[in-house]
Structure 1
Amino acid sequence: MSDLTQAVEISGGIFALMMATQYGTRHFGWHKIAMPILAVSGFGYSYLKDAPTDHNSVALYLVGAAIGLVFGVLAYASTAMWADRTAGEIMTRCGGAFVAVWLVAMVARIGFVWAVSDIPTFQTWVGEHMMSMHLTTEAIAPFFVIWALTMVAVRVVGLVVRSRALRTQFDASRIAAVTSPMMSRTAG
């Protein structure tokens, strides 16, 4: 399997999973937390278990994590979240902006691999930079996996924090609504 085919399958698979499980209006529960983390972690394990761990490769991975952080914040910001008071559930809505963030991330990954595979001048430029930084080609796939893992993790952590705050507000307003009528009857 070529690097480009592999990049399309992995990036496309992550994109398809995120769209199938997150796009639209959905109930936010543990399954929405566990599913993306477990799926991307499965990809992650297969690519990170044998990843080079020399100083330069680790520096490259940190760059991947930083890019993932930026995309994760954008994915988080493009996810609306609220407490549905009638159903008592936390809800999310992901629309066009969410799709755009994931699409740009996917196209960037695939575009890089395509350019390295099919554009000789870009291939030479990347090769020269990798040699000057003492990087091997084995560090490229882990770079992209760390980017994707970080992107998913940042979004999920942000949503968990926001859902807990919404749940606390929702529970407090329900308690206030229940105790308020009782207090007005006893005060008079």
Structure 2
Amino acid sequence: MSDLSQAVEISGGIFALMMATQYGTRHFGLHKIAMPVLAVAGFGYVYLKDAPTDHNSIVLYLVGAGIGAVFGLLAYFATAMWADRSTGKIMTRCTTAFVSVWLVAMAARIGFVWAVSDNASFRTWVGEHMMSLHLTSDAIAPFFVIWALVMVVGRVVALTARSARLRAEVRASSTDFALAR
């Protein structure tokens, strides 16, 4: 499988999973926390178990984590969340802004791999920089996997924290209502 095919498969798979499980209005419960985290963890295990761990590769992975954190925050802010007062359930709504964040992230990953594969001057530029930083091509896939992993996990952690605050508000308001009676 070519690097481009692999990038499309991984990025497209994560994108499809996120759209299938998060897009639209949904109940935010344990399944919405576990499913994306477990799926990305599976990708993570497969692609990170043999990742280079030299100093420069670790620095590259930290850059990937930083990019993932930015995209994760964008995806978090593109997700509306509220407590349904009639059922007490925490709900989320992901719309085109959420899809856009994921499309940009996916296009950036696939675009990079395409450019390295099919654009000789870009490939040369990347190769020169990788050599000057003492990086091997084995560090590229883990970079992108860490980016996706941090993006998904960061958003889930932030939504889980917001969900806990909403649940506390619902409990407090129902207690206040009961005390007022």
- TM-score (normalised: structure 2): 0.99
Q: Does 1:155 align with 2:155?
A: yes
The residue that corresponds to 1:66 in the other structure is 66
The residue that corresponds to 2:19 in the other structure is 19
Amino acid of the structure 1 residue aligned with 2:137: T
CA distance in 2 between counterparts of 1:169 and 1:158 reads 17
1:61 aligned counterpart, secondary structure? helix
Q: How does 1:47-126 map to 2 (within 5 A)?
A: 47-126=47-126
Q: Does 1:128 align with 2:102?
A: no
After superposition, the C-alpha distances for 1:8-44 in whole angstroms (9 at most, x for unaligned) are: 0000000000000000000000000000000001000
- TM-score (normalised: structure 1): 0.96
1:114 aligned counterpart, secondary structure? helix
CA distance in 2 between counterparts of 1:88 and 1:125 reads 55
After superposition, the C-alpha distances for 1:72-121 in whole angstroms (9 at most, x for unaligned) are: 00000000000000011000000000000000000000000000000000
Amino acid of the structure 1 residue aligned with 2:77: A
Q: Does 1:172 align with 2:176?
A: no
Amino acid of the structure 1 residue aligned with 2:127: G
Q: Tell me the matched-pair count.
A: 181
1:130 aligned counterpart, secondary structure? helix
CA distance in 2 between counterparts of 1:6 and 1:70 reads 24
CA distance in 2 between counterparts of 1:179 and 1:62 reads 50
CA distance in 1 between counterparts of 2:87 and 2:72 reads 29
CA distance in 1 between counterparts of 2:156 and 2:162 reads 10
CA distance in 1 between counterparts of 2:137 and 2:150 reads 21
CA distance in 1 between counterparts of 2:176 and 2:135 reads 60
Deviation at 1:178, TM superposition (A): 1.6
Deviation at 1:122, TM superposition (A): 0.2
Deviation at 1:179, TM superposition (A): 2.1
Deviation at 1:177, TM superposition (A): 1.2
The residue that corresponds to 1:7 in the other structure is 7
Pick the structure with greater CA Rg: 1
1:92 aligned counterpart, secondary structure? strand
Amino acid of the structure 1 residue aligned with 2:54: D
Amino acid of the structure 2 residue aligned with 1:86: S
Aligned CA-pair RMSD: 0.4
CA distance in 2 between counterparts of 1:65 and 1:180 reads 48
Gaps of 5+ in 1: 182-188
The residue that corresponds to 1:185 in the other structure is none
CA distance in 2 between counterparts of 1:39 and 1:154 reads 14
